Amino acid sequence: MVGASTLEMAAAVTNAGGLGSIGAGAMAPADIESESGRLRAETGGAFGVNLFILPPARPTAADVDVAIERLRPWYEARGLDVPAAPNDYAPDFAAQFAALVRAAPPLASFTFGILTAEQVAALKAVGTLVVGTATTVAEARAWADVGADAVCAQGAEAGGHRGTFLKDVDESLVGTMALVPLVRQATGLPVIAAGGIMDGRGVAAALALGAVAAQMGTAFLLSDQSAVSTPWRRAIETAPDDPTRLTRAFSGRYARGIENDFMRLLRPVEREVPAYPVQNRLTQALRAGSAKLDDPEAISLWAGQAVGLAEAGDAGALVRRWWDEARAVARQLAAR
Ligand SMILES: Cc1cc2nc3c(=O)[nH]c(=O)nc-3n(C[C@H](O)[C@H](O)[C@H](O)COP(=O)(O)O)c2cc1C
């Protein structure tokens, strides 16, 4: 979880018997290698590295100017400097991928796109298991076709950005309950269920649907090892019923978060903002500056639909508790 997870969180999860992951989507290639080395040393066990599959961004200067002008009032209202057009928008995926192959983590997972069969083979050759994120059955089949070892079936409930890469968001909103068994049936691959899983009940449900594992994001946001800012944490703790919406306004790619002024007021023009990663880069200083000002209305409060179930505590203790709960739920069901 870029922006929310930490190496400490990943280590705690792995050391509790789960599989911690480094959110490396925004990392420089050299950091991917060093962070993998650190996590390997701190856990001695299995862990994953997650990357965003993105083509290089080449927006026109005119499009960037329009996007900056649209954001100007949001910066100025907070006394923040309006950014100039940046020189780059996101780390180069090809360089990140080369670093990943050198780091050779036990598992690598990908979102926002799909690898080629050659790239999958290159990771397998260094002993890395390849997991592709799919939000539809067609995306899962595409990952199976390029040779992925497993598919993360990510339902519409999920917080933050999702893996959608084949169709428009409107056609990629399958719920976890439907997606997991469908992906299992379509691909025969091991399936990792994601979206709306917050505790042992959800883990048991995911396994009952045929998943080999549950991937949990929002459930860790209040953990001791989470990097969420103070206003983001408070928004989670005080969220009203049914607080999340999908928005394209912050990043140029649909993502789920707790609704705030930025999401509400930019909704009419959200389809016009430049595609990820351009808009994401242009709002970066606004989000960071607003977090420093303790202002929740212009930061991306990423969270999934089940955010109301998030609990505080040590990430490792949460993992152990969820697994105990899942086993208890399975026993209760067997006794019915
Ligand atoms: C704050 C946040 C950041 C996320 N960042 C990433 C990311 O960098 N890469 C990724 O593959 N998924 C990311 N996700 C999605 C999670 O991997 C996971 O699929 C999702 O959280 C599962 O649904 P849940 O939020 O209901 O648990 C993020 C989710 C959240 C909430």
Instruction: Report the alpha-carbon distance of residue 311 to residue 329 in Å, rounded.
Output: 19
Helix (H) or strand (E) holding 160: strand 160-161
Buried b (16+ CB within 10 A) or exposed e, 192-219: bbbbbbbbbebbbbbbebbbebbbbbbb
Report CA(244)–ligand 1 centroid distance (Å). Answer: 14
- Whose C-alpha lies nearest to ligand 1, atom 3? 1
Would you mind telling me the total number of residues written for the chain in this entry?
A: 336
Report CA(247)–ligand 1 centroid distance (Å). Answer: 15
* CA–CA distances in Å: residue 109 to residues 93, 204, 231, 255, 282: 14, 23, 29, 18, 26
- Whose C-alpha lies nearest to ligand 1, atom 16? 217
pLDDT-derived band at 45, boundaries 50, 70, 90: confident
- Whose C-alpha lies nearest to ligand 1, atom 12? 1
- pLDDT of the residue at 104: 97
Report CA(10)–ligand 1 centroid distance (Å). Answer: 13
Instruction: Report the alpha-carbon distance of residue 83 to residue 286 in Å, rounded.
Output: 9
Mean pLDDT along residues 215-223: 98
Mean pLDDT along residues 158-186: 98
Instruction: Report the alpha-carbon distance of residue 145 to residue 112 in Å, rounded.
Output: 17
Instruction: Report the alpha-carbon distance of residue 138 to residue 117 in Å, rounded.
Output: 17
Report CA(77)–ligand 1 centroid distance (Å). Answer: 30
Q: Are strands 244-247 and 255-258 parallel, antiparallel or unpaired?
A: antiparallel
Angle CA 293–298–304, to nearest 5: 115
Mean pLDDT along residues 90-95: 98
Q: Write the single-letter amino acid at 109.
A: S
pTM score, two decimals?
0.98
Q: Is 23:5 a contact under the CB 8 Å cutoff?
A: yes
Each residue's pLDDT tens digit, 180-210: 999 999 999 999 999 999 999 999 999 999 9
Report CA(261)–ligand 1 centroid distance (Å). Answer: 22
pLDDT-derived band at 44, boundaries 50, 70, 90: confident
Question: How many CB atoms within 10 Å of residue 56?
Answer: 11
Report CA(190)–ligand 1 centroid distance (Å). Answer: 19
Instruction: Report the alpha-carbon distance of residue 205 to residue 177 in Å, rounded.
Output: 9
Q: Is the CB of 203 under 6 A from ligand 1?
A: no
Helix (H) or strand (E) holding 203: helix 200-208
Q: Is the CB of 159 under 6 A from ligand 1?
A: yes
Ligand 1 atom, smallest distance to 2 CA: 8
Mean pLDDT, rounded, of the chain: 98
Q: Is 190:109 a contact under the CB 8 Å cutoff?
A: no
